[in-house]
Chains A and B, each alone.
Chain A
């Protein structure tokens, strides 16, 4: 493991706990299959676990009854500012989303994909037949490309990769005391850093519109009320927390799944060699179906609601209860997903829920759609891609974060 890698991820749990997490992760498909068959909507205390495809979709699409529980932590991260990621459907939510979406330009995704592929090719070419992919390839390329795209340059003091990853972990995965203490230091650092960048650009009279920040400042010149510095800072901070940490989590898991399936790896290699980025993306998404970034997603009931009403499994949820939707289970439910145990890289988009569904479908889905295949293609193009010898050749985790995966290939 590289020193950098050690630095980006927090020291994981103890060996035994990590082993238990690993076993649990491996057993999830069997657990979900059992739940779907015998207890499709399981209730333990005030928590309800939903495992059938239909019911998962119902909960995720019914945002008027089930809200995302991200708002409180986001306020901590944003010094009290609200962000659409944690909001209910409302004019404020729509307004934030619309403003942010208006920053995207035609051709952005092609540009991003080209930049990601070029950077990934440099790294893979420089490796001498062996490469650690989690940090050296996926994290490096993602941060390099997205920092440039959003216009958030790396800080002189501190490491953006650490800041983003820690805050992502706090926002979505953990809330232990040591992490909270760290967040109280890091969150203001990120916000101040972005404020400095904004002020610097304004002071320099930089009116380029190549990145999100430049475009936001251009909007500010037209409409200062909707595009004040605070809004721009908050949105850029949310993008940096929610965006770049994801590919280094997702892509190693996809490569690990491909390495387990020589047939799928061969077809992925063929697609990458032909430059068929759609099919490469199909392989990545399909691989993730077997080990998604998040097998479950939480929701909070905002009113009493009956899930699957009118069916024999109709189940009442009371206001304030937590509903956990098992998206991994939904993507493997044979009642709706054709041949769920087979690796089919040409599935239809609705068969996947990696980006969530409904109101809070991942904002960065188009970016991920563009950069996932672009980062992986230079690696998948290499002949005889295989695991490196030793324990490094198998994907290891620190908590829920992929930590290391070494691969070899013919030069």
Chain B
């Protein structure tokens, strides 16, 4: 069962903001169990949302835009049944909350009217579904783990812990003897130990992830080959070589002049992007070779159709065009794009000390650190120029595809504290929404970002208004630790209602529980594997 991440953003009538906040707060207060006001633990909610991992509702407030209601949901399986469960859980409150929102100006206006008119009993789920957004990028720390499996394995791990007690029980046994003993003892209570665990990420899904990444990269790079290939069709090789040489020397001269960070901006080793490219030269070459091979038949077919060439001549001609295309790509287009980006970066404004409303800040802090997990909700405006937007849109997509394909173990860089996080564009793509469910405190989470994953974070958020100054797309930016934290806090709003299905479990614990469960499911383990398994106990 696949974990889905979805969000809904609806503009709120400013006059109804206080009422809406009241509805969301009552939702929390009326349902809290355990410590008064404790967010994240609502057994009654979780029982009636049986596929939900995390659910949050918050109202964003800013001087730049009218309040915005955001509903975030992370759940297993199909969407329709989830929204139905939600409406049966808090349908009346949802209807009241929608009454505080602006009537949509699009096709859903009539639906909105019929749901919010006085005395209406129509379900709000169809309206919510009209406004559901698929995230542009998302990350799941425990990928491939449905909620039921996480909870079942946590229960098993607790049972194992109870059996082992203070460790005396397994003192004189080998790891395999200990494992077999526990397996036999726990089998009646956990009959699923007799079954082979399902693969968390099926082979088909893995193949599809890589295919999507390859297709996106291919499309982008293939389009970049067009200028070189067109010029190759217009002029001869000699003149072409002279033109490319002159253009690339000029471009590289400009690039060299602009590539270094401005004074006071540099926080990391300059030239990070270039050094990454050089150290991964073999990958770059492999990508170019693949690009050539996959583009060749396409360009050859184009030659046959457009120039009426024989296939033998078309293959030869297209190889020449592709060669020039790759030359222009590497020597002129990519440096050109970076120069353009550097020009923008040098003229971008950034906000060193954004003002955060002290009341909001206090509310945020009050809601944090009740349990080992926390929630963060942020909305930022994107810089208004087209190239910046394009980089934000395309970059987010490519980062998402790369994360899906390459990150299988929950580690983002060297951090593994994120359960579910996602980015989505709202208000016609003019703002970027970020919602995250993570372990530890907000401060620790951002310290991790700054120290371990600032390049990716800079790539995604670099196009946002007020973000700390960046260099070459991925350098600096988030590495300006204090400025980045101030900017992020400024963009956040308190999460008024938040539910976690497993509030006591960290990403690491879930992975550990999974290893324990998988070990106990196995009929036999080699001594080495058994020792590794016992290391988790």
Chains A and B come from one and the same complex: yes
Chain A contacts to B: CB under 8 angstroms: 53-54, 57-58, 61-62, 64, 308-311, 314, 334-338, 348, 350, 358
Q: Which of B106-114, B144-152, B161-169 contacts A (4 or more CB under 8 A)?
A: B106-114
Kindly identify which residue among B80, B85, B121, B122 contacts A334, using a CB–CB cutoff of 8 Å: B80
Q: Which residues of the partner chain B approach A61 to less than 8 Å between Cβ atoms?
A: 121-122
Query: Which A residue's beta carbon lies closest to that of B119?
Result: A64
A sample of 16 cross-chain residue pairs with beta-carbon separation below 8 angstroms, ordered by A number, consists of A54-B126, A58-B123, A64-B119, A309-B113, A309-B114, A310-B107, A310-B108, A310-B110, A310-B111, A310-B126, A311-B126, A314-B110, A337-B84, A338-B77, A348-B48, A348-B85
Contact with A along B460-484 (1 / 0, CB 8 A): 0000000000000000000000000
A336 in contact with B121 (CB, 8 Å)? no
Query: Which A residue's beta carbon lies closest to that of B51?
Result: A338
CA distance A358 to B123 in the complex (A): 13
Q: Which residues of the partner chain B approach A338 to less than 8 Å between Cβ atoms?
A: 51, 77-78, 81
Q: Which residues of the partner chain A approach B127 to less than 8 Å between Cβ atoms?
A: 310
Q: Is B88 an interface residue (CB 8 A)?
A: yes
Please provide the chain B residues from 102 to 159 with a CB less than 8 Å away from any CB of chain A in the complex: 107-114, 119, 121-123, 125-127
Known: A54-B125, A54-B126, A348-B88. A310 touches B114 (CB 8 A): yes
B48 in contact with A62 (CB, 8 Å)? no
Q: Which residues of the partner chain A approach B119 to less than 8 Å between Cβ atoms?
A: 64
Query: Which B residue's beta carbon lies closest to that of A64?
Result: B119
Q: Which residues of the partner chain B approach A334 to less than 8 Å between Cβ atoms?
A: 78, 80
With a 10 A CB-CB cut-off, give which of B48, B81, B119 has the most chain A CB atoms.
Answer: B81
CA distance A287 to B258 in the complex (A): 72
B126 in contact with A336 (CB, 8 Å)? no
CA distance A363 to B108 in the complex (A): 37
Chain B contacts to A: CB under 8 angstroms: 48, 50-51, 77-78, 80-81, 84-85, 88, 107-114, 119, 121-123, 125-127
Q: Which residues of the partner chain B approach A54 to less than 8 Å between Cβ atoms?
A: 123, 125-126
B110 in contact with A309 (CB, 8 Å)? yes
Q: Which 3 residue pairs of A and B lie closest in terms of their CB atoms, listed nearest first?
A: A310-B111, A310-B110, A61-B121
CA distance A308 to B115 in the complex (A): 10
A58 in contact with B122 (CB, 8 Å)? yes
Query: Which A residue's beta carbon lies closest to that of B121?
Result: A61
CA distance A311 to B112 in the complex (A): 11
B112 in contact with A350 (CB, 8 Å)? no
CA distance A314 to B107 in the complex (A): 12
Q: Which residues of the partner chain A approach B51 to less than 8 Å between Cβ atoms?
A: 338
* Smallest beta-carbon distance A309→chain B, Å: 5
CA distance A309 to B117 in the complex (A): 13
A62 in contact with B85 (CB, 8 Å)? no
CA distance A168 to B29 in the complex (A): 47
Q: Which residues of the partner chain A approach B110 to less than 8 Å between Cβ atoms?
A: 309-310, 314
Query: Which A residue's beta carbon lies closest to that of B114?
Result: A309
* Smallest beta-carbon distance A369→chain B, Å: 18
A337 in contact with B81 (CB, 8 Å)? yes
A62 in contact with B81 (CB, 8 Å)? no
CA distance A308 to B129 in the complex (A): 14
* Smallest beta-carbon distance B120→chain A, Å: 8
Query: Which B residue's beta carbon lies closest to that of A336?
Result: B84
CA distance A127 to B279 in the complex (A): 84
CA distance A358 to B121 in the complex (A): 9
A336 in contact with B81 (CB, 8 Å)? yes
Q: Which residues of the partner chain A approach B78 to less than 8 Å between Cβ atoms?
A: 334, 338
With a 10 A CB-CB cut-off, give which of A53, A58, A62, A338 has the most chain B CB atoms.
Answer: A338
Q: Which residues of the partner chain A approach B108 to less than 8 Å between Cβ atoms?
A: 310
A310 in contact with B81 (CB, 8 Å)? no
Q: Which residues of the partner chain A approach B111 to less than 8 Å between Cβ atoms?
A: 309-311
Kindly identify which residue among A310, A337, A358 contacts B109, using a CB–CB cutoff of 8 Å: A310
CA distance A152 to B126 in the complex (A): 47
Known: A338-B78, A338-B81. A62 touches B88 (CB 8 A): no
Query: Which A residue's beta carbon lies closest to that of B110?
Result: A310
CA distance A58 to B121 in the complex (A): 7
CA distance A61 to B85 in the complex (A): 17
Q: Which residues of the partner chain A approach B126 to less than 8 Å between Cβ atoms?
A: 54, 308, 310-311
B80 in contact with A62 (CB, 8 Å)? no
Query: Which B residue's beta carbon lies closest to that of A52?
Result: B126
Q: Which residues of the partner chain B approach A336 to less than 8 Å between Cβ atoms?
A: 80-81, 84, 125
Q: Which residues of the partner chain A approach B77 to less than 8 Å between Cβ atoms?
A: 338
Q: Which residues of the partner chain B approach A57 to less than 8 Å between Cβ atoms?
A: 123
4 new A-B contacts, CB < 8 A, other than A61-B121, A309-B114, A337-B84, are: A58-B121, A310-B111, A337-B81, A348-B50
Query: Which B residue's beta carbon lies closest to that of A314?
Result: B110
CA distance A57 to B51 in the complex (A): 23
Query: Which A residue's beta carbon lies closest to that of B104?
Result: A310
CA distance A348 to B107 in the complex (A): 32
CA distance A20 to B468 in the complex (A): 75
CA distance A57 to B122 in the complex (A): 8
* Smallest beta-carbon distance B16→chain A, Å: 21
CA distance A57 to B113 in the complex (A): 17
* Smallest beta-carbon distance A220→chain B, Å: 36
CA distance A309 to B108 in the complex (A): 10
CA distance A337 to B121 in the complex (A): 20
With a 10 A CB-CB cut-off, give which of B78, B84, B108, B113 has the most chain A CB atoms.
Answer: B84
* Smallest beta-carbon distance B225→chain A, Å: 42
Query: Which B residue's beta carbon lies closest to that of A335?
Result: B80
CA distance A53 to B122 in the complex (A): 12
Q: Which residues of the partner chain B approach A311 to less than 8 Å between Cβ atoms?
A: 111, 126
* Smallest beta-carbon distance A339→chain B, Å: 8
CA distance A115 to B85 in the complex (A): 36
* Smallest beta-carbon distance B182→chain A, Å: 27
Query: Which A residue's beta carbon lies closest to that of B122?
Result: A58
* Smallest beta-carbon distance A317→chain B, Å: 14
CA distance A53 to B78 in the complex (A): 15
Q: Which residues of the partner chain A approach B113 to less than 8 Å between Cβ atoms?
A: 309-310
A62 in contact with B84 (CB, 8 Å)? no
Known: A309-B114, A311-B111, A337-B81. A350 touches B125 (CB 8 A): no
* Smallest beta-carbon distance B66→chain A, Å: 23
Query: Which B residue's beta carbon lies closest to that of A306?
Result: B114
CA distance A334 to B80 in the complex (A): 8
